[in-house]
Structure 1
Amino acid sequence: MIFNDEKTIESVTRYSDLYEQALAENDVRALDAFFWDGPEVVRYGVGENLYGSDEIAAFRRARQGGSPSRKVLRRHVTCVDQSMAVVSLEFQRDGSARIGRQMQTWILTDNGWKILAAHVSIMADKPETETPAAL
């Protein structure tokens, strides 16, 4: 296993940049192409749980106006080997003070890097150490 191979990090970072561009432009065809095309792919969004590429594609087409504009605050790429990586990203939506988080598991396929699992969330106003979690 080659952990955090520099060329792999550069490649995944480039794909992550292209994903962010497609997200900003609401290019649903490009966004679909970034995800693994099959029932195994999962995307947990801020307000939805999507299983399989068909559900993810349907969500993108149903969302009015696409993803809210956002600024990437921080990105961290960790490569498990030369064919799998995790992209952890913090962002802030325009007009909001809250911080969002996105984690994507990318795998290298014969058709380039694809997202196999994704999770998007918006942070609570206060950490659970200050305000206990609701049951």
Structure 2
Amino acid sequence: MTPNIPEVVEEIREKFERYEAALVSKDVDVLDDTFWNSPHTRRLAIHENGYGFDEIHAHRVARPPGPGIKLERLRLDILTLGRDFAVVNLIFKMRGRGDLPARQTQTWVRFPDLGWKVVSAHVSVTEATPAY
């Protein structure tokens, strides 16, 4: 399994940026399209524990539009393994937390009939400033 095939990394980067823009604009259609529509999908975040696509969607609909929690990106890492699996990790400054960073992880799978979908996502805060 070949890591970080350049064109696959670029595909994931584009999908990730599309998702990030949709968070800010509250484009629920794009947000929903990003995630695998399955009861097995997970999104564990600061103000949400979404077990399954339906719970994740319900949170998205209820969330107010606006700039969201991200103030500044500190580090973005994309790891692809082969052509059908990827993990994205983002460390960012979160609004209202000073210099304490937060983190975001997404696990992406390319489905033959659906294309790239997030199957698991996690957002959390830190209590100390780690090296990044």
| Same fold? TM cut 0.5 | yes
The residue number in structure 1 matching 2:16 is: 16
Percent identity, please.
Answer: 39
Confirm whether residue 105 of structure 1 aligns to residue 107 of structure 2.
yes
For 1:116, the aligned partner's letter is: V
CA drift of 1:72 comes to 2.2
Bigger Cα Rg: 1
Q: Deviations over 1:28-78 (max 9, x none)?
A: 121111000011100111133211100000011122336624232211000
For 1:56 and 1:50, the matched residues in 2 are separated by 5
Q: Tell me the CA shift for residue 99 of structure 1.
A: 1.2
SS of equivalent to 2:75: strand
Q: Distance in 2 between matches of 1:88 and 1:76?
A: 5
Contact 2:35 2:117 in 1 (8 A): yes
Counterpart code for 1:117:
S
Q: Are residues 63 and 40 of structure 1, via their aligned partners in 2, closer, same or farther at CA, if it must alter by over 3 Å? A: same
Number of the residue aligned with 1:133: none
Partner in structure 2 of residue 118 of structure 1: 121
What is the alpha-carbon distance in structure 2 between the residues aligned to residue 116 and residue 67 of structure 1?
A: 24
Q: Once the two structures are superposed, what CA deviation does each residue of 1:97-116 show, in whole Å capped at 9, x if it has no partner?
A: 13110000001123321100
Query: Post-superposition, which runs of at least 4 consecutive aligned residues in structure 1 deviate over 6 A?
Result: none
Q: Give ranges in structure 1 of 5+ residues lacking alignment.
A: 128-135
Whether the 8 Å contact between 2:104 and 2:124 is mirrored in structure 1 is yes
Per the normalisation by structure 1, the TM-score is 0.84
CA contact (8 A) 2:110 2:117 kept: yes
Q: TM-score, normalised on structure 2?
A: 0.86
Q: Which amino acid aligns with 1:8?
A: V
Q: RMSD of the TM alignment (CA)?
A: 1.8
Q: Which runs of 5+ in 2 are unaligned?
A: none
- SS of 1:113's equivalent in the other structure is strand
CA distance in 2, matches of 1:60, 1:83: 26
Is contact 2:24-2:65 (8 Å) kept? no
* Counterpart residue number, 1:25: 25
What is the count of residue pairs matched by the alignment?
127
